[in-house]
Structure 1
Amino acid sequence: MIPVLSRIRGHWWDAVLALVTAAIGAYLVHAFYPGRANNDIVNQAQQALGEIPYSDWHPPVVAALWEWLIGLTGEIGSLLVVQLVLMSLGSFGLGLLVHHRLASRLGSFLAVLLPVFPWSLSQLNIMWKDVQMATAFLLAVVLVFLVRLRPRALWVLLVPAAVLLVYGTLARKNAVFALVPIAVYLGWMAWSALAARRERLRTTRIRFWGSAVSALVVLGVLGGATLATDGAIAEAKDVRATGQISQIMLDDVMFSVPESELNASAAPKELKDHINTARAECIDQGEIWDAYWNCYGRGETGEPFSPIAYQDEVRHLWVTEVVTHPVRYVEYRAAVFSHYFFTSQLEYWERGWDGEASKVGLGGGSRTADYVVKPYVVDFALGTFPMLFTPWFWFLGGALLLVGARRLTAFRAEVVVLSTSAMFYVLGYFPIAPANHFRYTYWPALAVTAGALLWWCARRKQRKQDRGAVRS
C-alpha cells in the first residue's frame, strides 16, 4: 500500500473507501450520462415517458421504476444514475465487508475498484435489464453478507436486500436461477441463528434439513413478493400481454422439427409456410437462433416487439412436436447453448451506436471519456483476453472457487453463494438462450469477481496467520 495510506486505520479507512467509490461513481455518471440505448431500451423509455402503452415484452418493472424516477427528477438519465449508484454501493459494501472482517486494506481497496474492472465497466453505460438485475443483485448479496458482520442491523440490511432481489428477479425473469443459492444462504443463516439458541437443533442432520426448509420458505416469500409486485404493476399500468415466450418456442419449432414433420402437422398452412421460408433464410445467414429478429419478420405487424401471429398454434406445435422428441430438442438447445457459452458479442456499447435513442433523449455521453474507456475495454481487455467476456470463463471460475472454498476459514459460505449463483445462472440459459450477448453473462462476471476477491483476501489472511504461528 502507499505509505501515507498505510497509516490510515479504522473508520478513517472507511472514509477513504467512500471517497474512492464516490469519485469513481461521479466519473462514470459524467462519462455515460444520460445512458446509451438500443431499441429494447428505447421501447422501455417510451413506455416510461407515456409515449406508448405498457407491454410485457420487456419487464414492466423497469419502465415503471423509470417512469417514477422521471416524475421525481424530470431526467431521462435518472435510471442510469440508479444503475451506477447500485454498482457503487455494492462495491463499497464489499470493501467494508473485507475491511471489517479481515482488516485487509488492500483487499477492501480492490473491492471498491470493482466498477472499473474492464468486464464490469463494459456494460455500465447502457441500461440493459440484465445490468439492472446484476447491479441490484450485487448490492442485495453484499447487504445479506453484511448481516453476519452487523447482526443488530438485521432488518436495516435485509429489507432493502429483499426489495433489490425482487426487483432484479422482475427485471430479468431467469434471475430466479441465480436467486436459489442466495435463498439457501438466507435459510442457512436463519436456522444457524435459531440453532445458536437451542442446543438440540445443532446436530448435523437437523441443521441440514432445517436449513433446507428455511431456504424453501425464503424462496417462497421472495417468489410470492415477486409475483405480487408483478401483478400489481400489470394492473396499475394496464400492461398488454405479448406472449414473448413464444419467441423461444418459435426457435425450437423452426430449428428442431424437420420440415416433413412440420408439414404433416395440423398447424395452419400459412404458419407452416412462414416457418419453412424463414428457416431457409436463417440458415442462409448462418443463424439457427433468434428467428424473430433474424429472419421471421418479427411479429404479426412486422414492427419490433409486436406479438407473433398464431401464438396458440406455435405453443401447440411446441408441445406436440418439440418436447415429444427430447433427443433432438436437447441437441438443438445444446447447439444454441454452445454458441452462447463459448462466444460473445456486444461487449461494449460504443458511442454512436444509439440509433433511435435520441428520440427519447438518450445516447451520447462524454466523447473524451469514450476515448478513455473504449481502448481500455475493447482494445486492451477484449483484444488481449477475449475469454473475459465469455460464459465458459466465468462458469469455470465459479467451479474453481467452489472447489477452493473448502480451504477457507473465512468467507467460505459467501464464496460458495456467489460461485453457485453465477453457475446456476449460466446453466439456466440452456433452454432459453436467444443469442450470445455479453450482457447475459454480466451477473456471473460480477459474482465470480466478487467471490474471487473474497477468496483471495481470505487466503491471504490465512497465510499471514500461518506464518505468524510458525514464527511463534
Structure 2
Amino acid sequence: MKKQYLNLIGLTAFLLSILAIFSFYPGAMTWDSMDQLRQARAGEYSDWQPPAMAFVWGWLIPLIDGPGGMLLLHCGFLWATGLILYRWCIKEGYSYGILFLLLPIMPWIMNFQFTIWKDVGMAYSWGLATAICLYYKNNQTFPKAAALLIFVLFLYGSSVRSNSLSAGIFLIPFFANTIFKINNVKSTLASMIIGCLVMGLAHFSVAALLGAKKSHSVSYVMFDDIVALKLRGVDVPVSFLDQKKMSSIEQCDYLADHEIGAAFCLSDEEFTSVTQEHYPELKAAWMNHIPDNLYIYGTFRANAFLNLIRSPSLPPYYPSEFRVVNPPYDAKSGIRPMSLVERSVARYVKTSTKIFPGLFKPYVWIIVSVLLICYFQISRICRGSSFWLLPMSGFSYAASYVLITPATDFRYAYWLIFISSLSIAIFVNIHFKKTSEAG
C-alpha cells in the first residue's frame, strides 16, 4: 500500500511537470537563446555561442516553427531521465525510485527548466545518458544501441557548452567503466584522455563543418582581466580603453556589484569593436601582462568566483527565469503575460528561494558534491564503483569557473546542481537497500 501511495505521488509530480512545460510553451528565452534561434533560422552560425545547439535547432524548426521544438527536446531528455531511473530502481529492487520522478518539480531544477539555454541542454542530455548507463549497468552484455545513444547524447551535451570539458573529463570514464565493465585506475585515466580528445575534436569539427564565423568569445573574459589590471594600477596601454572609458567603467554599478562584466559598462557598438577590430591587440595585451601580474590577476579571479558561488551573507543571484518572449521571438518582441499556471510555478520557486536560499547558491552544491564524492569513495557499500565520478563531474565543472567566471548567474552551476541531485537520489537508493539487507 505504501509503495502504491509513493507511486501515485511520483506520477502526480510528473504530470505537474508536464502541465508546467506546456504552460510555458514555447519556452522562456534570453538574448543567448534568441541569438541561437536567429542562427538556426538563417542557417548561418557564429562561434560566440557553440553552434551545435543552433544547428540541431535548425532541424527542428521545419517540424515546429519557433523555439518550441528545442524546449520539447530538452524536456523530453529530462522526463526520460526520470522515468528510466525510476524503472532502474524497480529493476534493481531499490525502494526510492520516486525521488527520480520528483526531480522535475524540485525548485532548484524547475527554476530553469523552461529556459532554452545551453546549460539546460547539456544537463538534461547528459542526465539521460547517465540514466541509460545505469539502467543497463548490471546487464551481462551492455546493449550496443544503448551505448551508441549514450555517445550521441554525450556529444550533444559536450558540444553545446564551451567549458563542457571540465565536466566531461570525469563523466566519460563513468560511461566507459560501466559499458566495458572495467574499473581500475588505468582504464579511468585512459578514458579521460580519450574523452578529452573526443570533446576537443567535436568542438573544433562542428564549428569548422558549419563554417561558424569567428567572433572571439574569449575576448569577453580577457576584457574583464585587462580592465581589472588597469583598475588596480597596472599600466596596460591599449587603444580601445582611453581615460574617459576607464572612468566610466570605474563608476559602473554592475561591475562594482559583480566584480566582472566590464563589457556591460560599454555600449554594444563599443564592445563589438573590441571583439572584432581590436581583438589582436586585446589578446597581445592579455598575453603580455597577465603573466607579469599573476597575484593581482589571481586575486581578481578568486573574488569573481566567490561572488559567483555566493556566501551565506549574500542573497541568491538570478535564481530563475520564466520570461516567455512573444513571436517572432527576438529582442524586440516583448514578453508574454503570465498565465495562472506560470504565475503559480514562479511563486513556488520564488518562495523556495526565500525558505531555502542556500539551495540557490552554488557554494552549497559544491559542498554537497564533495560530501557525495567522499561517501562514494570511502563507503563499504560503494567502494570500488565508479559512482564517485558523477558528483566529481559537477564539482570539476563548478571549479573551472575559478579561471573563466563570465557572470554571477546561478545557471552556470546548473550541471553541478543537476548531477548532484541525481547523485543524492542514487545514494539514498543504494544506501538504504544495502543497509536493510545487512539488517
User: Is 1:131 matched with 2:120?
Assistant: yes
Query: How far apart, CA to CA, are the structure 2 residues paired with 1:259 and 1:331?
Result: 11
**Which amino acid letter does the alignment assign opposite residue 34 of structure 1?**
P
User: Do 1:337 and 1:429's aligned partners in 2 also have CA atoms closer than 8 Å?
Assistant: yes
**Compared CA separation, residues 272 and 19, structure 1 to 2 (3 A):** same
User: How many residue pairs are counted as aligned between the two chains?
Assistant: 433
Deviates most, 347-356 or 224-233? 347-356
Superposition map of 1:109-148 within 5 A: 109-148=98-137
Partner amino acid for 1:123?
F
How far residue 110 of structure 1 moved from its aligned partner, in angstroms, is 1.6
**Residues 401-410 or 116-125, more deviating:** 401-410
Amino acid at match of 1:67: G
Whether 1:87 and 2:83 are equivalent positions in the alignment is no
The residue that corresponds to 2:37 in the other structure is 45
The aligned residue for residue 59 of structure 1 is 50
- Cα pair distance change 1:361/1:93, threshold 3 Å: farther
Distance 1:259 1:250 in 2: 14
1:220 counterpart (197, 201, 210): 197
| 1:179–1:421 Cα contact (<8 Å) kept | yes
Is the partner of 2:186 in helix, strand or coil? helix
- Partners of 1:2 and 1:260 in 2: how far apart? 66
Residue of structure 1 in register with 2:246 after alignment: 276
Instruction: Give deviations 1:338-364, integer Å, cap 9, x for gaps.
Output: 100115422122347889946697954
Give the letter aligned to residue 346 of structure 2.
Answer: K
How far 1:286 moved relative to its partner? 1.8
Partners of 1:316 and 1:229 in 2: CA distance = 27
Aligned equivalents of 1:411, 1:374: Cα separation in 2? 41
Q: Identify which range, 152-161 or 329-338, moves more after superposition.
A: 152-161
Give the distance between the partners of 1:87 and 1:271, measured in 2 at CA.
45
Query: Match for residue 156 of structure 1?
Result: 145
User: Which protein is bigger by CA-based radius of gyration?
Assistant: 1
Measure the CA separation in 2 of the matches of 1:57 and 1:33: 26
Superposed displacement of residue 278, structure 1? 4.1
Number of the residue aligned with 1:171? 160
Q: 2 CA distance for matches of 1:423 and 1:41?
A: 26
Contact 2:228 2:297 in 1 (8 A): no
What residue number does 1:244 align with? 217
Give 2:60's aligned residue.
69
- TM-score when normalising by structure 1: 0.83
Cα distance in 2, alignment partners of residues 150 and 275 from structure 1: 63
Q: Provide the rounded CA distance (Å) in 1 between the counterparts of 2:365 and 2:66.
A: 35
1:452 maps to amino acid: I
Partner residue, 1:324: 292
Superposed CA deviations along residues 256-305 of structure 1, whole A, max 9, x for unmatched, are: 24575435x4x33x434465234323368624311112x122344769xx
- AA in 1 matched with 2:279: Q
**Counterpart for residue 104 of structure 1:** 94
SS for the counterpart of 2:404 is coil
Give the structure 2 partner of residue 457 of structure 1.
Answer: 429
- Report what 1:30 is aligned to: 22
Matches within 5 A, 1:331-370: 331-342=299-310, 344-351=316-323, 357=329, 364=336, 367-370=339-342
Give the SS at the match of 1:23: helix
Question: Which has a greater percent of helix?
Answer: 1
Deviation of 1:160 (Å): 1.6
For residues 17 and 284 of structure 1, do their structure 2 counterparts lie closer, same or farther at Cα, with a shift above 3 Å needed?
Answer: closer
2:267 matches 1:297: yes
2-side partners of 1:373 and 1:359: how far apart? Answer: 24
1:36/1:354 contact within 8 Å kept? no
1:202 paired residue number: none
Deviation of residue 391 (structure 1)?
Answer: 0.9
Deviations 1:315-372 (A, max 9, x none): 1111111132211111010010010011542212234788994669795486111232
Residue 409, structure 1, aligned to residue 398, structure 2: no
What is the identity, as a one-letter code, of the residue corresponding to 1:185? Answer: F
Distance 1:142 1:352 in 2: 30
SS of the residue aligned with 1:37?
coil
User: Displacement of 1:446 after TM fit?
Assistant: 0.8
CA RMSD of aligned residues (A): 3.0
TM-score (norm: length of structure 2): 0.88
1:7-18 alignment runs, 5 A limit: none
Identity %, equivalent residues = 21
Whether the 8 Å CA contact 2:132–2:146 is kept in 1: the answer is: yes
Distance 1:5 1:148, change over 3 A: same
Distance 1:434 1:389 in 2: 18
Alpha-carbon distance, 1:129 to partner: 1.3
Separation in 2, partners of 1:73, 1:350: 21
- CA offsets per residue over residues 413-462 of structure 1, 9 Å max, x none? 35312210110010011111121111111111111111011111111112
The answer (yes or no) to whether the contact 1:408–1:455 under 8 Å persists in 2 is no
Q: Is the 8 A contact 1:35 1:364 kept in 2?
A: no
Work out whether residues 87 and 135 of structure 1, in 8 Å CA contact, stay in contact via their aligned partners in 2. yes
- Structure 1 counterpart of 2:396, one-letter code: F
Answer whether contact 1:292 1:299 (CA < 8 A) is retained.
no
Provide the C-alpha distance between the structure 2 equivalents of 1:164 and 1:222, rounded to a whole number of angstroms.
12
Give me the whole-angstrom Cα distance separating, in 1, the residues matched to 2:336 and 2:165. 33
Question: Against the structure 1 CA distance between its residues 88 and 404, is the aligned structure 2 distance closer, same or farther, given a 3 Å change threshold?
Answer: same
Between the aligned partners of 1:340 and 1:385, the Cα distance in structure 2 is 18
Q: Name stretches of at least 5 consecutive residues in structure 2 with no aligned partner.
A: none
Separation in 2, partners of 1:145, 1:226: 27
Of 252, 262, 269, which aligns to 2:235?
262
Partner of 1:230 in structure 2?
Answer: 207
Specify whether residues 49 and 151 from structure 1 end up closer, same or farther in structure 2 by C-alpha distance, changes over 3 A only.
farther
Query: Structure 1 stretches of 5 or more lacking a match?
Result: 7-12, 196-206, 468-472
Write the distance in 2 (CA, Å) between the matches of 1:27 and 1:33: 10
